[in-house]
Chain A
Amino acid sequence: MNVFIGQILPYVAVTVFLGGVTWRIWRWMIPQIVHNITLSPWPKSWSAAIVWILWQLATFWNLLKFDRPLWFGAWFMHIALFLMLVGHVLAFYTLGLQFHILVPGLITPELSLWLSFWFGTVLGLIFLLALLYLLGRRLVNEPVRAISSASDYVHLLLLIGIATLGNIMRIFPEYQVGYIPVREYLAGLFLFQPHPMPDSLLFLAKYTLVMVLMIIFPFSKLMHSFGFFWERWIINRPFHEPARGLPGAGVQLPK
């Protein structure tokens, strides 16, 4: 079992994830943008369009403007998730010294470990709380409940499971796994030189859930993370107005 989860499933998960995402995007690229259906007021140029799209991405501007309660859950959840993903990569790669490596003069290795710990803890808790808030909203808010399918809850529960297990391992010292065994194990995967998984049931459980998430990702609404760009590319594009003025009229606009 450990061999399957530790040494086989990861390759399956990564293949399905990358292959699935590529296949979905491939399918999006087949149909055309038939007419210019940009929303107005439209951006003046392509660069303005890209700035607007990135602004929407970074701030969840539409939710902030039109659905503040949802914005609280959604923005904090996503920003915590994003920072934690980056944090995972950096912390496991540098063994928690990422801040020291980034600003060596100012941050000592000890401070970096401390920062890494607290960033991870706080973001992990924000992530979990935001997910619980979104789940509560989905259950309580009448219209949202009406349009929800079982899979909408499954995604939330899956993320809540991953967040809970991660937080337990982070907060309770007796369950901590530590950077080194994880890095050794992951390095083994990357280098195709199998190394046993860290010996922890919690790690095993969380790791399995993450791989399940990766496998269902391309076949679920989680693809919205890519869909965002493809949709906005259709809906936020420039349009060029024709000149004003009536040809042949007695009263002409000044040139």
Chain B
Amino acid sequence: MSEANGLRQPKRATADLFLKLGVVPVPDGEKAAAAIGHLDEFRTKVRSFVMAMESCVKCGACAENCHTYLGTRDPNNIPAGRADLIRKVYKRHFTVQGKLFPGLVGAQDLDLETIEKWYSYYYQCSECRRCAHVCPFGIDTAEVTMIGRQILFWLGIGPQLHTATSGAILKTGNHMGLTQAGMVDTLDFLSEEIEEEYEGLKVTFPVDKPNSDVLYIPSSADFMLNANTLKGAAMFLQYVGANWTMSSRITEAGNFGYLMDQNRVMREMVTRLMEETTRLGCKKIVWGECGHGWRATKMYVPTMSDMPASRKIPMTHIHDEVEAYVKAGLLELDPKRNARKITLHDPCNYARACGHSDNMRVIMNAVVPKGAFTEMRPNREANFCCGGGSGILFDDKKMYEYRILASNKKAEQVRATNAEVLCAPCSICKAQLYPMVKEHKLPVEVVGLVDLVGNALVFRD
């Protein structure tokens, strides 16, 4: 039943990978019953899910406001339509009207075909929550996507990318499978780069340093793909004389658990974070550039972690800290070093989930010359997703084509600004936008925001 009915589906993880995550894939014949069992459990536990199931009036306001529908014109990519893939089944089993008049109210029994559709469409949704933002009721269909993915995970269905990444999390605490030795190697190299680029400037990247005050959590992708972001963060932390460190056990600002299994795998990250904070004696956690991971931490850790540290240790984003220092006038910045015309992509999880729009603008206006920064429209909490949100960064042909379709709206927005640089301060946005700008032939360079801070900081002895 794989790759069924011409559905767009990402490459599946093998049963072996699932076994490593403690999930025994459910045989086809038992999948529907197992899924209903899980739905029944969520129905009694998660109110946001129940309200999404029971409040939608199918007004369709979400349709033209979802980049996946705009890119594909597929009715199952309308947020209300996508939620309906579960809602039909929910109605059939858990509502009076669905039990009595299934045809009238659009209720359906669950079959393998529908489960295949779940796999297809819940991995086309990027959980960006623009639909929640525009819905007159505030129905958050990302909650439905999350539960769809969670059930699929428990059935043993999931993309190779997410499942393998979840495996890496359990093993190393980061997505890329970085080890401490590998980290230190890369960081030495980054130190040398900074020394060359900034006239002998010596910046160190502490790892697992005991008695540190601040634990900085970088995105593991910053070690390879977005090195300038990691360099920028280190330069800022060094500039203000922070007693900081990274931890080799949790070198990951993202959280693929949040994107696939908001139980075992997500909790692994949360637990490691609190263990490491305690072990290294840190008094504050500062987060690197990653959208979903920052949400998973800022908004979920307090209600998810079962360690008392999580109620005491303040957690902020590196942007919050840079903003505060900029506002206090404590940073000497030379905006001329970032003199190209630039626009800012608001990562969905910052803008719609973490209250994180002003700080990026304060920083931006401080690190680029006056007039260089152009807003794209719409922006802030009304911004459109890059098309790669929730880690749907699949490389298989059909899904890659989909990623480019899903970024049509983003390309249109960027093009209208005539910018030369596209600042997208989130690892998944960056990973999506690197190929996106190529496919859409946009003449822009994709950068992070802390990159620009590091580049503009004027160090004096």
Query: Hey, what's the 0/1 contact readout for A64-107 against B, CB within 8 Å counting as 1?
Result: 01110010001000000000000000000000000000000000
Please report which residues of chain A, range 202-255, place their CB below 8 angstroms from some CB of chain B when the two chains form the complex: 216, 219-221, 223-224, 227-228, 230-232, 234-236, 239, 241-251, 253-254
Interface residues on B, range: 35 or more
Q: A35-B300, A42-B355, A70-B59 are in contact. Are A236 and B213 (CB under 8 A)?
A: no
| A191 within 8 Å of B (CB atoms) | no
CB distance from B70 to the nearest CB of A (A): 10
CB distance from B431 to the nearest CB of A (A): 23
CB distance from A119 to the nearest CB of B (A): 26
Check B104 against A150 for contact (C-beta < 8 Å): yes
Check A28 against B54 for contact (C-beta < 8 Å): yes
| A154 within 8 Å of B (CB atoms) | yes
CB distance from B353 to the nearest CB of A (A): 6
Q: A28-B50, A143-B63 are in contact. Are A35 and B299 (CB under 8 A)?
A: yes
CB distance from A27 to the nearest CB of B (A): 7
* A-binding segment of B156-164, B324-332, B398-406: B324-332
CB distance from A151 to the nearest CB of B (A): 5
Q: How far is the CA of A2 from the CA of B30 in the complex (A)?
A: 53
Tell me the nearest residue of chain B to A234, going by C-beta: B48
Q: How far is the CA of A24 from the CA of B243 in the complex (A)?
A: 54
Check B105 against A27 for contact (C-beta < 8 Å): no
* B-binding segment of A55-63, A109-117, A121-129, A193-201: A55-63
Tell me the nearest residue of chain B to A28, going by C-beta: B50
Query: Hey, what's the 0/1 contact readout for A1-44 against B, CB within 8 Å counting as 1?
Result: 00000000000000000000000100110111111111111100
Q: Which of A219, A230, A244 has the most CB of B within 10 A?
A: A244
Q: How far is the CA of A127 from the CA of B294 in the complex (A)?
A: 46
Q: How far is the CA of A38 from the CA of B115 in the complex (A)?
A: 29
Check A67 against B61 for contact (C-beta < 8 Å): yes
Q: How far is the CA of A244 from the CA of B213 in the complex (A)?
A: 14
Not counting A67-B134, A143-B78, a sample of 16 additional A-B residue pairs whose C-beta atoms are within 8 angstroms of each other reads A31-B42, A32-B45, A34-B47, A34-B48, A40-B381, A41-B381, A42-B355, A147-B81, A149-B58, A230-B55, A239-B299, A242-B316, A247-B284, A249-B243, A251-B240, A254-B328
> Which B residues are closer than 8 A to A by beta carbons?
42-52, 54-61, 63-65, 69, 75, 78, 80-81, 84, 95-97, 101, 103-106, 129, 132-140, 143, 213-214, 237, 239-244, 283-284, 286, 299-300, 302-304, 314-316, 320-321, 323-325, 328, 330, 351-357, 381
